[in-house]
């Protein structure tokens, strides 16, 4: 629901605001912090044993030397229901990997990271996801009746609260298209979401063309993660626009046990995922 409002507002602004340009603005410099990207996504129908956790450090806003990997940390994940501990090995490039992970639906997991003498931790539950029922292309839907878009449909189960994170990545593009989805208004229905690109010469964006490939991931996520991603996506799409909310620092689910004022960025998520790849015809 909210994303449509935001689209409306962005459209209102873009209609009026013919005039945008890139300028140099001095921004304040905040503290440098550990960033945890612990995304344990279990693809439906696979074992899900191979998992990677990324650790990096934040930088100043205009720093283009991203990412700056963090090495030498101790990383483990514990299944709180079974007590099993999974050790993630340091690959010395910011990646920490395991080949032994065992995903169990509805089980709760805890992440522990020790770095520079400080201990970080976070807890998350693994939620199931619906299958993608259809992926297809069309022209007449979307904002522009002439432009190609890719559509993804899935059936929301009735009577239970579900939260989803949907990610489109066009292989020709740098940035993905992200959706946070809550079933509040679509409970029990088949829902369809589309990704369409509209021509923008100033940014060198072109419409989808036959042959373009888009990777699609649909994840079943927790309510807390949905809230996190909702804000992340909203700010990624429109922070600073006149009709957007005052941007704020995102708060993930990981804390610093030794220094609460130095909380890490990022999130520890454990999800079930379905994915597909679509090639425009």
Considering only residues 151 to 190 of the shown chain, the ones binding other proteins according to CB under 8 A are 167, 169, 173-176, 178, 185-187, 189-190
By the rule CB under 8 A, 119 interacts with other proteins: no
Does residue 99 touch other proteins according to CB under 8 A?
Answer: no
Enumerate the β-bridge partners of residue 231. Answer: none
Residue 142 binds other proteins (CB under 8 A) = yes
Site for other proteins in 67-96 (CB under 8 A): 67
Radius of gyration of the chain (CA): 20
Residues 6+ apart with CB under 8 A from 57: 32, 33, 34, 35, 68, 70
Q: Is 39 helix (H, G, I), strand (E, B) or coil?
A: strand
Contact stretch for other proteins (CB under 8 A) within 21-29, 100-108, 129-137, 272-280: 21-29
Does residue 136 belong to the site contacting other proteins (CB under 8 A)? no
**Cα separation values, 49 from 44, 74, 98, 251, Å:** 12, 19, 7, 28
Q: Give the count of beta carbons closer than 10 Å to the beta carbon of residue 5.
A: 10
Choose between 48 and 266: whose C-beta lies nearer to other proteins. 266
Nearer to other proteins, 160 or 174 (CB): 174
Q: Counting contacts by CB under 8 A, is residue 9 touching other proteins?
A: yes
Please name every residue paired with 50 in a beta bridge, in sequence order, or none if there are none: none
Measured between its terminal Cα atoms, the distance across the chain in Å is: 31
Residue 16 backbone dihedrals phi, psi, to 5 degrees: -80, -45
What would the x/- binding string for other proteins be over residues 31 to 70, using CB under 8 A?
xxx-x-x-x----------------xxxxxxxxx-xx---
Looking at the Cβ atoms of 102 and 239, the one nearer to other proteins is: 239
Q: Contact 70/55 with Cβ under 8 angstroms?
A: yes
Place of tokens 């993930």: 252
Identify which of residues 225 and 278 has a Cβ nearer to other proteins in the complex.
225
Contacts to other proteins from residues 202-261, by CB under 8 A: 203-205, 227, 230-232, 235-236, 238-253, 255, 260
Q: How far is the CB of 100 from other proteins (least distance, A)?
A: 25
């Amino acid at each position: 629901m909210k994303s449509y409002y935001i689209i409306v507002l962005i459209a209102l602004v873009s209609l009026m605001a013919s005039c945008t340009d890139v300028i140099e603005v001095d921004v304040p410099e905040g503290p440098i912090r550990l960033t945890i990207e612990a995304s344990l996504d279990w693809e439906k129908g696979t074992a899900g044993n191979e998992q990677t956790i990324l650790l990096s450090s934040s930088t100043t806003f205009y720093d283009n030397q991203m990412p700056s990997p963090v090495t030498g940390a101790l990383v483990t994940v514990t299944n709180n229901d079974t007590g099993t501990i999974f050790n993630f090995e340091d690959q010395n490039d910011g990646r920490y990997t395991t080949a032994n992970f065992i995903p169990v639906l509805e089980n709760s997991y805890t992440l522990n990271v020790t770095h520079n003498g400080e201990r970080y931790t976070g807890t998350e539950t693994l939620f199931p996801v619906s299958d993608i029922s259809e992926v297809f292309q069309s022209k007449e839907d979307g904002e522009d009746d002439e432009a190609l878009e890719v559509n993804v449909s899935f059936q929301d189960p009735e009577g239970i609260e579900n939260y989803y994170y949907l990610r489109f990545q066009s292989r020709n593009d740098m940035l993905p298209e992200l959706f946070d989805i809550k079933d509040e208004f679509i409970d029990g229905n088949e829902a369809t979401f589309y990704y369409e690109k509209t021509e923008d010469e100033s940014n060198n964006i072109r419409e989808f063309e036959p042959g373009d490939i888009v990777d699609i991931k649909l994840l079943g996520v927790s309510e807390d993660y949905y809230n996190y991603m909702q804000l992340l996506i909203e700010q990624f799409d429109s922070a600073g626009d006149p009709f957007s909310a005052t941007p704020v620092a995102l708060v993930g689910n990981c804390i610093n046990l030794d220094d609460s004022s130095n909380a890490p960025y990022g999130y520890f998520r454990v999800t079930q995922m379905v994915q597909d790849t679509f090639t425009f015809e």
